[in-house]
Amino acid sequence: MKKIVIAITILTGVFAYGETMDEYLQRLAAQAKKENPSFGGFSVERGREIYFSKHIGKRGKEVSCASCHTEDLRQSGENIFTGKKIKPLSPSVNPKRFVNVKKVKKWLRRNFKDVYKREGTAQEKGDVLLFMRSN
């Protein structure tokens, strides 16, 4: 019985605290270095370019991240297809942003597929995360 209680306590701690955003960014950096040996780190400027660049998205319409999330990350946005309201991306006005790594991974994957019709590379994800966190 004692072993079960210890195991549950350990597992609860692992799931409760999980991976931090900084740890996730470190993992993305290691992956980016594997994909491109000349990778020298993430860039806010490259992230800005990713965020604002327009592409023909999965629904055949020209879109960018800013199409739904607005040009000012401190403002609320709206999904242009569903009308769903989106809370600001900027952690300066929305401190809950970029805390839950599982949610960040989910939305990065989904939004890259919506805008770029593919999953983002490790470098692209790191760059855009750095840009969004810096606002």
Q: What is the pLDDT along the chain (135 residues), one digit of tens a residue?
A: 545 544 444 444 444 458 999 999 999 999 999 999 999 999 999 999 999 999 999 889 999 999 999 999 999 999 999 999 999 999 999 999 999 999 999 999 999 999 999 999 999 999 999 999 999
Question: Do residues 108 and 123 touch, judged by C-beta distance below 8 A?
Answer: no
Side-chain-facing half-sphere of 126: CA atoms under 13 Å: 20
Q: Please, which residues have CB within 8 angstroms of residue 25's CB and are 6 or more apart in sequence?
A: 42, 126, 129, 130
Q: For 26, what's the count of Cα atoms within 13 Å in the CB-facing half-sphere? A: 5
Tell me the domains of the chain and their CATH numbers.
Answer: 2-133 (1.10.760.10)
Q: What is the largest CA-CA distance in the chain?
A: 59
